[in-house]
Structure 1
Amino acid sequence: MPVPAVFLRDQLYGDPPLARMIRAGRADVRLGVYLCLLARATRAPFDVRHNLTPAAWAEMLRIKDPKGKGARRVTSAFKWLEKERLVTLQRRAGRPPLVQLMDPAGSGGPFETGGYWVQVPHEFWLRGWIFSLRETSQAVLLALLDLLYKADAPRFVTPERHDEYGLSDDTWTRGIRDLSECKLLTVRRVPIGDDWHYDRLRNTYSIDMRRLGDSPGGRKKRQPQPTEPPNPFS
């Protein structure tokens, strides 16, 4: 499932939308909704023409109290995405609004398929990682998938590349710790230089893509509801 790199990285419009989403707080529902929209609206005109109510969205995302507080959180998430010009909502009397994806950089322009996209395996949804990982960990995982694209060996992340994503040092630290605990990420300290010109230790990162094919296990961000949630790919 492709995620536009302009949603993750700083482009022409200031801070990238992902960083703004994380800084705004309570980003778990917003990020979950947006990623599911990207998973569904994969071809022109990049809209979502189904009748999922906010309660159904909350159930799909396994949010507590889906018909009450969960539905209100979903409604708030859609309003935030609309305010940030990532979607437009065509409201209809007595029915859920039609959702139209807009430029993922937040410029307010139309959604286009050009440019670079980060490939996120479907197992991220189908195995439940989207329900298990905190929003900060999901943000760092998306950034690392971009940074480590086609990396055939552990790779450094330079400060310049790090800053492109607009994520705070605290977000990076917590996200890397969580991803390491889940065994999605391997971090190693390696020396820079040679035996005669040793400089310092730096971190290298590698993602175990095979781990996404397993169930997350361990700590859960949200407790699943007793009923089976709708499949976002159906």
Structure 2
Amino acid sequence: MPSTLTSTPQGVADENIDLPPRRDVLQAMLGGTGRGGVPVRSVFVQLKEPNEHDSRHGRLSQFTTDARALDAYLLIHALASSKAPHAASYPALVWAHAAGLDRDATLKSARQRWSKAVAKLSKLNLIEASRDGRQSVYTLLHESGSGEPYTRPKNLTEGGWVTIPYAYWLEGYDEQLSLPEKLMLLVSLDQKQRFELPTARTQEWYGIPETTASRGFRGLMKREILEATKRTTIDLQNGKSLMRTVNVYTTAGIWTRENRKRGMTVARKKVPRGTKVKEATA
């Protein structure tokens, strides 16, 4: 029988720990939130207004070379954002295994990788990290990185949000997608269902280099997460033909706006009449 994650002594040698499959651990963790996806405010991707540096780059721009920290943030957000006090608490081993950091490393190294990732999140004012005995506790802060407390987004007056379905973890997208694909997936999910986004502007608008954006878009289309059609338009800056061709992207499959919205609601199991059930919290 595999040992439980919550009872494994830190001093036990890594090779003696037989962990449950990562997907089962993720299912247990995410299943406790009572929903099918996580809403992340759009200001994480792009600020509503320019900051003091006249930039609209969101905190996403700080992860263009750090996939582990981005994965750590999205996982913590998925688990902590569902209800007040917007904190999630598990042993460090659980976090490291759930994040998949032990795929190609010892558990000791995986825990060190996790610690490094969350240290960056704390520095960016996206979380507050603390401890409760053997538990590593992470409390969400506002997605803008302002350091203000996190509150659940409730309406579009707050600037909107990006909805990430739990399939991102449970179907292994977090393992399969490259960092450029993850970055452009988040940018794409923050757009309308059909959108144009010239890669020549991603550095200016999002702090994502053009070459990174191009690789990300190509990968997402290859994986059939995005579909693209060509549109020709007038371009008065083109001294040769006065025309240019642009991609018009749409999200596909589980990633469409409609499917992601529908997936946020978790179907409750039917119970016989007269059975008392504890009301679930979202």
Shared fold, TM over 0.5: yes
Kindly indicate whether the alpha-carbon contact (under 8 Å) linking 2:47 and 2:58 is maintained by their aligned counterparts in 1. yes
Name 1:72's counterpart in structure 2: 112
**Are 1:19 and 2:19 counterparts?**
no
* Larger RCO (CA within 8 A; separation ≥ 6): 1
Deviation of 1:158 after TM superposition, in Å, equals 5.8
TM-superposed deviation, 1:34: 0.8
**Residues 29-86 of structure 1, C-alpha deviations (whole Å, 9 max, x = no match):** 11111111111111221111x2231x32222122222512221111000100001111
Relative to structure 1, is the Cα distance of residues 119 and 51 closer, same or farther in structure 2, using a 3 angstrom cutoff? closer
**Counterpart residue number, 1:47:** 87
Which of 148, 166, 169 is the equivalent residue of 1:109?
A: 148
Matches of 2:137 and 2:176, distance apart in 1? 28
For residue 57 of structure 1, the aligned residue among 72, 83, 95 is 95
How do residues 124-135 of structure 1 correspond to structure 2 at under 5 angstroms?
124-135=168-179
The SS at the match of 1:68 is helix
Could you tell me whether the CA contact under 8 Å between 2:40 and 2:143 is conserved in 1?
no
Alignment of 1:86-165 (within 5 A): 86-92=126-132, 95-114=134-153, 115=158, 116-148=160-192, 151=193, 154-157=194-197, 162=202, 163-165=204-206
| Corresponding residue SS for 2:69 | helix
Letter in 1 for 2:134: R
What's 2:220 paired with? 179
The percent identity for this pair of structures is 25
Which whole-Å deviations, capped at 9, do the CAs of 1:160-212 have from their partners, x for residues lacking one? 9844322110110111111122121122322115xxx9722111111113479
Count residues in correspondence.
200
Q: Aligned Cα RMSD in Å? A: 2.5
**Higher Cα Rg: structure 1 or 2?**
2
Displacement, 1:159?
A: 7.5
1:37 counterpart = 2:76: yes
For residue 104 of structure 1, give the secondary structure of its aligned residue in structure 2.
Answer: coil
User: Are the aligned partners of 2:180 and 2:216 in contact in 1 as well (CA < 8 Å)?
Assistant: yes
Residue in 2 that maps onto 1:5 = 42
CA separation of 1:139 and 1:201: change in aligned 2, threshold 3 A: same
Partner SS, residue 187 of structure 2: helix
Query: 1:159 and 1:30 mapped to 2: Cα distance?
Result: 24
Q: Give unmatched runs, 5+ long, in structure 1.
A: 214-234
Unmatched 5+ residue regions in structure 2? Answer: 1-37, 235-240, 260-282
